[in-house]
Structure 1
Amino acid sequence: MNLLTFNYVSVLSVFDLKMSLTLYIIVTCIKLLCLPCFFSTDFEVHRNWLATTYSLPLEQWYSATHSPWTLDYPPLFAWFEYFLAQIAFYVDVDMLSIKNLNYESVATVHFQRLSVIVTDFVFYYGSRQCAQALVVLGMSPKTRKKNPNLEDYEINVFMIEILLVFNIMLMIIDHIHFQYNGFLFGILLVSIAHILKGQSYRGAFWFIVLLNFKHIYLYLAPVYFIYLLKHFCFGQNLKTTLKRLINLGIIVLGVTSISFGPFVVKGQITQVLKQLFPFKRGLSHAYWAPNFWAMYNTADIGAKFIYKKLDLINNDNSTSMTRGLVQEYDHYILPSITPQITFTLTAMFLLPCLYKMWISQKSAIGFVRCIVICGLTSFMFGWHVHEKALLIVIIPLTLLINTTTNDCSVFTMLSTIGVYSCFPLLFRPSQFITKLLLFCINVYFLYVTGKFKQLKFIENMYLMSLWPLMLSTEIVWGIFQLDKMYPFLPLMLTSFHNSIGVFYCWLKFYVHYTFN
């Protein structure tokens, strides 16, 4: 970083620090309003993990059977729960009892809600770091040609920060549904910020830390591996290449050893890995994620319905995926999908974009684009994907909204679809107004920032079709009491409709990134 860039970033840090703090305070106050909101079974999952890590010895953390909600996150997250449990002891010790299943005292609810809000400051910090890293990139001669007006560029970067911390989908999942995705995405953003600044060791360190908190980010690991290998290690003299490879290896092995080491010593590593990769959970989650398999499942159910009408089948002993249950499912008409098939498809589509990054010139923006396409490809074809996994795409994609029209249009569509795909998580009729308001807020943010202007006519029409879908599945369905006859058909329609939009975005971004 040259002296001019350093001075500008320093001035910017002081100049807009007050705006950022004001922004964070506003968002935090909104999250505090969610304290009494409905929460899902994930609330009990994490309360049980508090009790497990506090009440049981380490060797039983991943093998305890007192609850169906067993630990299935990597060890660093288990230690995170253990740390929270030490504080929870002074709030309500009963929440730490493994016998108190489904325990929901007021103190427990407030403690867990506040723990999500407090740890979200990692997300704020990561957003801030990425914003400053983008300013540094904006000061480079090549980028300055595209952004000659420094003041406009500063405003655009701050808008990225706003869209990150006001991410409505993240707010629904963490602060209503209940999870701890915020601080995890904060770690991801810190890692990306270091890569954008050219600080490869720090970027690799924080990504390995992230993997040891939640292994779903393995989707992005190939991007880090290829980028660091080709654009950081290779291309140097042999001595430098070996030194960098060894240092990266020490970082990976060091963090992983600290995380998994105690469980290796206790002879629990096999049980830990078994919990982390439970392939018997079925192809699709209870509420279908809007990916390729949602379309595939819908086609199978449609074919099954036609076969019944034509009397081509006499009995039906198959498990219905429309029940909304997490379980294994055999498709009735179409071939059943195995984990091996999903892995093969995902790898097949990842290889071209990874090869593109390998042969391309070193580019921090190209690195972020490859993260987006790898995350989106894994979401489209992965095994037992949750709807919230779309955040792995939307969060890093937010950093690209000022780069090209293609990046901005895909972000606008995925951001809108992502919020709508969370609607089945808030299934009570009384929550419709909450869902509607949050959806309108998300649309308003995109409108006032001019993102809808980047969309093509067909893309605008698709997003407009979400309104009649909402009307039919949320209102008309209940008025005519069709929900009693076909209780999970609204979920199927929602997932199928959203999957069309996500598939379109994947295809558009994939072609643009891989073949241009």
Structure 2
Amino acid sequence: MAAAVSRTIAPLRENKLIIPEKWEPQARASKEQQWPSLLQCAVVSTAFKILLFPSYHSTDFEVHRNWLAITHSLPVKTWYYEKTSEWTLDYPPAFAAFEWLMSWPAALIDQGMVQISNLGYDSWSTVSYQRGTVIVTELFLVIALHVYASSANSSNRKQAHAIALSILLSPGLLIIDHIHFQYNGFLYGVLILSISLARSQSSMLLSGVLFAVLLCLKHIYLYLAPAYFVYLLRVYCLKPENVFRPRIGNTLKLGASLVAVFGLAFGPFVYWGQLEQLKSRLFPFSRGLCHAYWAPNIWALYSFADRVLIYLAPYLKLSVDKSAISSVTRGLVGDTSFAVLPNITPKQCFGLTLALQSVCWVKLWKKPSWNNFVGAVTLCGFASFLVGWHVHEKAILLVLIPFSLVALKDRSYLASFRPLAVAGHVSLFPLIFTVPEFPIKITYTLTWLMTFLYAFSRLAPAPASPRRFLLDRFTLLYMAVAIPLVTYCSLIHRMVFGERYEFIPLMFISTWSAVGVVASWLGFNVCYLTA
């Protein structure tokens, strides 16, 4: 029937007669709606996540159960002093309030869940409730992605929809939130909504307020704050045509809103004289440079180089600190020793982070467009991940998710996104080391990579200027190495060595992933600074 209508309409179109759109064959509508909707994907993914309720959960599950107990059982003044469990409350006050709200239904479901003395308590009702709260709060991510896709230009609506689906179905969120256990879906929903609202001058104040709320929920997002500061100052607080003429009204509204948000969150603790206690909980710099499992960043490469130099030292006549050989970069408290290379301090990490971030600040100040803002957010996340102090592998989401929002700007951006997508997700595999979950993480991640990297390659437009780097060939080689590497680290190593040399597979995956992350960062810098 559709073919017959097309044959009828074609001659009329050749004669330049105007045909009402409702007469068009339904083939066009079906083609435009070939992607499933966010709601459809949310329903299907929720069903899948419910099936994962009995799966492995990490110590983070006990962390959040303990926080439910602390906030439910104790007065607010004692929340940041309680230390019955080693998993003390170390998130900002807004997240503590979030746990407090969730603790009331928890107490009705299972009183044992909110008892501080019940360390390691994981009854089935506790597991189901906590897993369920992750799914329910992740609905905020669905809303934020809908706003992001809807706010895109009509010419970019299909790309925005594909990006929204890729984030909603992200293997990173599945592994970290729904197996390992955290609440990143909800938190990144707040971030994405804030970024989306920054598109329009009329909603920029709300964007800044939402980001302030996010900082009060989890302080890791402080790394992204410089990009927000430059963008809001340049576009909202100053006149675009003359940066020396401030918009007094906008500045006062933004300033008052931020003071209100932070005052509400931190004001009581200031009144009680507990800011130093909060600081010690939120910023535990006594931890080592590297986490127990190296995050795939510059310090992973630095640590790997140190391990290699230990064996080459006799030939190169290098001095070796023998006391550091057995403890080098294990991520224990206070353990930051290197055997050959110089040790790194928190101040050096902070200085390097600011130095890497400052490059994007200049570009954003000169050209304060929304795309440049998202690029600056991404590069701020990159800098903090690459050279930050005691970076967790889970923090790769701080780069992956903002980068996803501009990955389809053109094929150059996509070329630099591909190695990050591969390395970032593979680097999360060691978080889930149990046998039953092994096929889940491998199959799901591989399916996501094949589906979305192929779809992205079809949707990304050609760049306006010639390509300046060759990350396509690098990505193909990089992905080809991933399969045997993961196979060895996940299966073969244990079959050959058993429980011996258990750090070797972790070192291989971390170092190999670090190469991909650094390559992606270099490629994105080229795209961002030359656009």
SS at match of 1:317: helix
Q: Trace 1:466-477 onto structure 2 (pairs within 5 A).
A: 466-477=482-493
Which residue number corresponds to residue 211 of structure 1? 215
Cα-to-partner distance string for 1:339-376 (whole Å, 9 max, x where unaligned): 0111111111111210111112x311111111111111
Alignment match, 1:185: 188
Tell whether 2:461 aligns with 1:457. Answer: no
Q: Cα gap change, 1:306/1:239 in structure 2, threshold over 3 Å: closer, same or farther?
A: closer
Moved more, 421-430 or 246-255: 421-430
Residue aligning to 2:374: 368
- In the alignment, the residues of structure 2 paired with residue 430 and residue 330 of structure 1 have an alpha-carbon distance, to the nearest angstrom, of 36
Give the 5 Å matches for 1:255-294. Answer: 255-294=261-300
Q: Which amino acid aligns with 2:302?
A: Y
Q: 1:184 to 1:453 in 2, by over 3 A?
A: closer
Counterpart in the other structure of 1:61 = 79
CA distance in 2 between counterparts of 1:115 and 1:190 reads 20
Percent identity, please: 38
Q: Which amino acid aligns with 1:500?
A: V
Taking the TM superposition and a 5 Å limit, the aligned residue runs for 1:289-368 are 289-307=295-313, 316-318=322-324, 319-321=326-328, 323=330, 325=332, 327-360=334-367, 362-368=368-374
1:28 to 33, 40, 46: 46
Find the partner of 1:408 among 405, 414, 427.
414
Q: Identify the residue that residue 130 of structure 1 maps to in structure 2.
A: 148
Q: Give the Cα separation in 1 of the matches to 2:422 and 2:459.
A: 14
Cα deviation per residue 1:223-265 (whole Å; 9 max; x = unaligned)?
0100111122112688861221111111111000000112122
* More deviation, 158-167/173-182: 158-167
Aligned to 1:485, what secondary structure does the other structure show? coil
Return the offset for 1:308: 6.5
1:441 counterpart = 2:447: yes
- Which moves more between the two structures, 157-166 or 291-300? 157-166
> CA–CA distance in 2 between the matches of 1:249 and 1:320?
47
Change (3 A) 1:399 1:314: closer
Query: What is the CA–CA distance in structure 2 between the aligned matches of 1:241 and 1:458, rounded to whole Å?
Result: 47
1:65 positional shift: 1.6
8 A Cα contact 1:452 1:460, kept in partner? no
Change beyond 3 A, Cα 1:31–1:242: same
The one-letter code sitting in structure 2 at the alignment partner of 1:112 is: Q
In the alignment, structure 1 residue 507 sits paired with structure 2 residue 525: no
Match of 1:427, SS?
coil
| 1:410 Cα offset (Å) | 2.3
Q: Is the 8 A contact 2:91 2:219 kept in 1?
A: yes
Distance 1:423 1:291, change over 3 A: same
Q: Which residue of 2 aligns with 1:8?
A: none
1:450-473 alpha-carbon deviations (Å, 9 max, x no partner): 439986112211122111111221
Q: Is the 8 A contact 2:190 2:214 kept in 1?
A: yes
- Give the letter for the 2:64 counterpart: H
Structure 2: stretches of 5+ with no match in the other structure: 1-28, 461-470
For residue 229 of structure 2, the aligned residue among 222, 225, 231 is 225
How many residue pairs are counted as aligned between the two chains?
486
Which residue number corresponds to residue 75 of structure 1?
Answer: 93
The answer to whether residue 214 in structure 2 is matched with residue 196 in structure 1 is no
CA distance in 1, matches of 2:323, 2:459: 50
| C-alpha deviation, 1:320, in angstroms | 2.0
Q: Which residue of 2 aligns with 1:92?
A: 110
CA 348–312 in structure 1, closer or farther in 2 if over 3 Å, else same: closer
Match of 1:168 among 161, 171, 185: 171
Deviation, 1:428, is: 2.4
> Which blocks of at least 5 consecutive residues in structure 1 are unaligned?
1-10, 140-146, 148-152
Q: Which residue of 1 aligns with 2:508?
A: 493
Q: Deviations over 1:43-64 (max 9, x none)?
A: 0000011111111121111111
Residue 286 of structure 1 contacts residue 326 of structure 1 at CA under 8 Å; is this kept in 2? no
TM-score by length of structure 1 reads: 0.89
Contact kept in structure 1, 2:236 and 2:251, CA below 8 Å: no
Q: Indicate if the aligned counterparts of 2:287 and 2:332 stay in contact, CA closer than 8 A.
A: no
The answer to whether the Cα contact below 8 Å between 1:446 and 1:452 also exists between their aligned partners in 2 is: no
CA contact (8 A) 1:285 1:326 kept: no
Give the Cα separation in 2 of the matches to 1:16 and 1:246: 46
1:369-424: per-residue Cα shift (whole Å, max 9, x none)? 11111111111111111111111111122221321112222222212211101111
Q: Is the 8 A contact 2:411 2:457 kept in 1?
A: no
User: Separation in 2 of the partners of 1:61 and 1:368?
Assistant: 36
Is the CA contact (8 Å cut-off) linking 1:409 and 1:451 kept in structure 2? no
Cα shift at 1:431: 3.1
SS of aligned partner of 1:484: coil
Map Cα deviations across residues 86-114 of structure 1 (whole Å, 9 max, x no partner): 11010101111111101111111111000
1:54–1:451 Cα change, 3 Å: same
- The aligned counterpart of 2:65 is 47
RMSD (Å), alpha carbons = 2.3
What is the CA-CA distance between 1:439 and the residue it aligns to?
Answer: 2.2
The whole-number CA distance in structure 1 between the counterparts of 2:442 and 2:496 is 21
SS in 1 for 2:191: helix
Letter in 2 for 1:161: A
Q: Which residue of 2 aligns with 1:484?
A: 499
Mark the structure with the bigger radius of gyration. 2
Displacement, 1:515? 4.3
Give, as a single letter, the amino acid of the residue that structure 2 aligns with 1:290: P
